[in-house]
Amino acid sequence: MAVFWKILVKYRMLFIGGLKITLIVSILTIIFGTFFGILMSFMKMSKIKPIRWFANAYVEFIRGTPVLVQISLVFYGLPMMGIVIPSIMIGDIDISRLSAGIIALTINTTAYICEIVRGGIISVDRGQTEAALALGMGNARTLICIVLPQAMKNILPSMGNEFITIIKTSSQVSVIGIGELMYAADTIRGISFEPMAPLIIVALIYFLITSVFSIILNNLEKRMARSTQRL
């Protein structure tokens, strides 16, 4: 037990730094992934064939390849494609690496959220769309203001699941040298010659973050369920 406390106290700044990066990466990936995932689900249901084909191919490719490969592909591939994100340092954070990590995770998550949202949209009764159209609403308004809010309510549990997966998957961006929690654990293992304690500490930190997320999402679910029952 003593060794845990020693490691935790001695390297607390590394753990805190790692936690910060993990949270930044996860939250930004959740925000961008939700946005692009919804967009991709619209594309997958588009009447225009090439758009639908692109979305289908995208989802199949991303789901069929490992996230670790995707992260490296983005990190080494972006500069080769001429997209160079300047290596600005904000505090001790390397923006170039961080962006590559967030972009890669967003690309990955978009595919999964696309499928979740699409399932949610399909689950909304066709009559809702017809009623909206019959009132003179356009296709876009019908989809975004009538169908999507109802779909979101249905898919909230699956979305919560996906968000928690994102938090855990964010540990994989340590391979491109982003100083998040997993990276901090590896660093501390190297310098302290303690093989287990740093790993167990970050495992507990991950568990803490995902638990907090679960609680928030559960409350949100309950609140949304209540909103339709209010008298």
89 binds another protein (CB under 8 A): no
Give the C-alpha separation, 163 to 51, whole Å.
26
Both tokens assigned to 181: 């929690």
C-alpha dist (Å) from residue 193 to 17, 186, 187, 198, 203:
20, 10, 10, 10, 18
Residue with the two structure tokens 């591939």: 77
- Residue 66 is which amino acid? P
User: CB neighbours (10 Å) of residue 86?
Assistant: 7
Which of 90/231 has CB closer to another protein? Answer: 231
Least Å distance, CB 15 to another protein, is 42
Is 21 a binder of another protein (CB under 8 A)? Answer: no
- How many other CB atoms sit within 10 Å of the CB of residue 17? 20
CB under 8 A: which stretch of 6-14, 65-73, 128-136, 205-213 binds another protein? 128-136
Amino acid symbol at 173:
V
**Is residue 125 a contact residue for another protein (CB under 8 A)?**
yes
Is there binding between residue 47 and another protein (CB under 8 A)? no
Q: Does 231 bind another protein (CB under 8 A)?
A: yes
Nearer to another protein by C-beta: 141 or 168? Answer: 141
Give the number of other Cβ atoms within 10 Å of residue 3's Cβ: 11
**CB of 229: closest distance to another protein in angstroms?**
7
CA-to-CA distance for 104 and 41, rounded, in angstroms?
19
Site for another protein contains 225 (CB under 8 A):
no
Residue 228 binds another protein (CB under 8 A):
yes
Residue ranges in 136-155 that form contacts with another protein under rule CB under 8 A: 136-138, 141, 145-146, 149-150, 153
Interface residue list for another protein (CB under 8 A): 125, 127-128, 130-138, 141, 145-146, 149-150, 153, 227-231
